[in-house]
Amino acid sequence: QEYVAIKYSNRISLYRGHESQNYKLESTIVRLLKNNKKCCVQDVIDAEEKGFKMFCRDVFKEKWLCNKLKNSDETLFKMSIGRHLGLPCRLIDVTASLETAVWFAVMNPKFYNVDGEIVFLVVNKDNIEETSASPFSTNKVSYAHVPFMADSLNDMPLGEQRRYIQCGHFIWVDNNSLLNEQQSILDSAIHIAHFTIPREAKIPLATELYRDVYSGCA
């Protein structure tokens, strides 16, 4: 990670932990719907908007808006919280921390019988839109860091400790690229690498990283 910080100091360097090597760089909403062979882009858009409206109506609390940065888009802020609480949407969780990416690849016991993977992605700021705009209105591949400002973990929405660990980094694509997310992201990258985490290494890594990653949440 120190090498990456020096070599790609003028780039955006991101990591993503996959519980299984079979996973692609794709969003939860696409992964949910893609098994339907008749699924089209409009189906994804409609399902995402319906779920987001339900989240805003039934889960999101307006008092949380006081924890939003002033220059952050309200829709993006709400959707980022929803994503961490399990809302299927186009936001793809990434992190600037290699250790955090490894943690997400090894923490789920349901995947201890398969190899995991770390995806390392470097993008040129000229090829990606670093934005604070609504995910529904952005173009090409977008990236945002959406922090939740809070004095303590008790001020965060239930289940939002994930944001504390991941720090709210996301990438996503526009409507036209929703069914081709991975290729769109790869086209915007100047470097990408995949690192295997053998299944037999998952439990030792999870045990060790739990102490480090969750030390502030314990």
Q: Which of 76, 73, 72, 79 is nearest to 56 (CA)?
A: 79
Q: Which of 120, 91, 163, 164 is nearest to 17 (CA)?
A: 120
Instruction: Please name the helix (run of DSSP H) or strand (run of DSSP E) that holds residue 197, with its range, or none.
Output: strand 189-197
Q: Give 169-192 pLDDT, tens digit per residue.
A: 899 999 999 999 999 999 888 899
pLDDT band at 152 (very low <50, low <70, confident <90, very high): low
Asked if residue 161 has pLDDT above 60, the reply is: no
Confidence at residue 30, expressed as pLDDT on a 0 to 100 scale = 94
Pairing state between β 129-130 and 141-145: parallel
Beta bridge partners of 182: none
Confidence at residue 79, expressed as pLDDT on a 0 to 100 scale = 94
Asked if residue 163 has pLDDT above 60, the reply is: no
Confidence at residue 167, expressed as pLDDT on a 0 to 100 scale = 64
pLDDT band at 159 (very low <50, low <70, confident <90, very high): low
pLDDT band at 202 (very low <50, low <70, confident <90, very high): very high
